[in-house]
Structure 1
Amino acid sequence: MDQHVVLEALSALLETNVKPYNAFNENFNELNLGELNILNFLQIALGKALLDLSYTPSHQVLRSGFNTDVRQDMLVDMDEFFEPRFDYDFTRTRDNSICMRGNESYKRPYGWYRIALKVLNKYPDGNDWLGTNGWRSHSVVGEWPVSYHGTSIEGATGIVKSHYRPGPREQYGRGIYSSNDVDHASSYSKVFTSKKNGKRYRVLMQNRINPVMRKMCNQHWLIEIPEGTSPAREKEIVERSIRPYGILLKEV
């Protein structure tokens, strides 16, 4: 997948302008730009850039908050954020194979192209949550199920409250909603037009979700984050509960 299109997909998810480090000749420490990494990706995509110096450089000023959609430009280290060897083209893949991940049915994202994120060895509890690499129909011990998530500023200001959209349908509580059905999640995906090739794409996140932390809510899986939870605790809950490991693109 073309690097420019990948960056456009990231920019669409975060609703900001994401650039690679090598796009700048200046010293990064002198730039008032945010740094995107694996551990702050989901929080920023949800509109909640958590101010924690253990994950963000001291010079960074993150202006997006729980109740605002103000975003700053961000820089990403492409080599540390993406893992091309695990990319997978599902656009022409079709079969009736039954796959399991985390003892749950895994609906493979047929019709999509997956851009893999560099998540190995990024979390203190190891890599069991990812399972083993390669095609397989069965789950392995310690593996988390797969979920899909589409988010937007219009549908999620801060932590998602209701089926990715605010309003009277908030039935199950406050937290992060995702789905194990890629087709259902697609209806909440962002769409962007590439300046590189003029094509239009949908973009989703592909995640693993901790089965101990989720709540089953009809077609959605909910990671509950109670009202009044501190930012530090929110970050802890997110990292223990739901972890993006791929970005999905589909031409429309």
Structure 2
Amino acid sequence: MNNQIGLTILSSVLDKLSYQNKILSPGQDDSNGIDVRELHKLLMKGCYLTGQDDDITNILDNNLGTGAIPSGGASLILIPPSLLDEPYNYDFTNISDNGVEFSRGGSIYTRPCGWQRYALKVKGKYPDDIWLEGRTPRADEYSSAEDEWAVSYHGTSYNNGLSIAEEGYKLSKGERFLYGKGIYSTPDIGVASLYAAEANVDGKNYKVVMQNRVNPKNVEKVPKAKTGVGEYWISPADEDILPYGFCVKEI
């Protein structure tokens, strides 16, 4: 799958998740496209909303300028090619890691085998890049780098599952959380895929899962024995979970 297919699939998912009249008009130039930080908020908007749509309006107004949102109907969300960091895209569709163990951020890194991973251009978007690269280069591809964050996955379906943290993922609403208050993700892409939104592009169906880095100093881990589904990771705040890619799989 090339970049354009990946962006089209992601756009289709965002189109389903977005509120009516809060979707970008096509035709904007590349410099005015959604930034990775705004993309993160749109995909995980369950923890950003205050019960109204104003937060989403502000995200888009700040990024595209007031009045850029169409006043009626829905249209495709603009996702520019500049959102991707193409050299870091990786095709895992025919890769198996059986018997091989990787580590990131001091935790086991279950690579997204069977998926196509598209890398987001995140370098320089936050106060530093240590969360992504570590302080020094890793000894080898299997090892963690110093102070880098661990890898997790997040289902993109807004109406169920990890995108609303099962019983919660509603920080702004102050509702009861099944396993504790915070932003939920999982180190297992198989678990995240259970809650992933689906997109139909050119007659083919795809699932989309976000790939994140999670601050290992603040994360709470809930074991599979307790959830009955898989291991959940709970991050206390949005700055403790940052996206760096999205994974696509044909179903």
* Offset from partner CA, 1:171-217 (integer Å, 9 cap, x none): 1234321000111111111122212xx22111100110111232222
Q: TM-score, normalised by structure 2?
A: 0.73
Give me the whole-angstrom Cα distance separating, in 2, the residues matched to 1:53 and 1:20: 8
Question: Which amino acid in 1 is paired with 2:182?
Answer: G
The Cα shift of 1:46 comes to 2.2
Cα separation, partners in 2 of 1:13 and 1:208, compared to 1, 3 Å: farther
Q: TM-score, normalised by structure 1?
A: 0.73
Across the aligned residues of Structure 1 and Structure 2, the Cα RMSD in angstroms comes to 3.7
Question: Which amino acid in 1 is paired with 2:234?
Answer: L
Residue 222 (structure 1) aligns with: 234
The alignment partner of 2:242 has SS state of: strand
Give me the whole-angstrom Cα distance separating, in 2, the residues matched to 1:38 and 1:194: 22
User: Could you say which structure has the higher helix fraction?
Assistant: 2
Residue 227 (structure 1) aligns with: none
The Cα shift of 1:115 comes to 0.7
Q: Which moved more, 1:11-20 or 1:210-219?
A: 11-20
Residue 14 (structure 1) aligns with: 14
Cα separation, partners in 2 of 1:52 and 1:89, compared to 1, 3 Å: closer
* Offset from partner CA, 1:65-116 (integer Å, 9 cap, x none): xxxxx9774323312x101110101111113221100000001111001011
Count residues in correspondence: 221
Residue 128 (structure 1) aligns with: 130
The Cα shift of 1:223 comes to 1.9
Question: Which amino acid in 1 is paired with 2:9?
Answer: A
Identify which of 100, 106, 111 aligns with 1:108.
111
What 5-or-longer segments of structure 1 have no aligned partner? 64-69, 225-236
- The yes-or-no answer on 1:153 pairing with 2:158 is yes
Residue 195 (structure 2) aligns with: 188
Cα separation, partners in 2 of 1:38 and 1:55, compared to 1, 3 Å: farther
Cα separation, partners in 2 of 1:108 and 1:58, compared to 1, 3 Å: same
Question: Which amino acid in 2 is paired with 1:146?
Answer: V
Q: Which moved more, 1:206-215 or 1:132-141?
A: 132-141
Alignment of 1:199-238 (within 5 A): 199-218=204-223, 219-224=231-236, 237-238=237-238
Residue 230 (structure 1) aligns with: none
Question: Which amino acid in 1 is paired with 2:152?
Answer: S
- The yes-or-no answer on 1:36 pairing with 2:48 is no
What 5-or-longer segments of structure 2 have no aligned partner? 49-54, 224-230
Give me the identity figure in percent.
Answer: 30
Residue 96 (structure 2) aligns with: 94
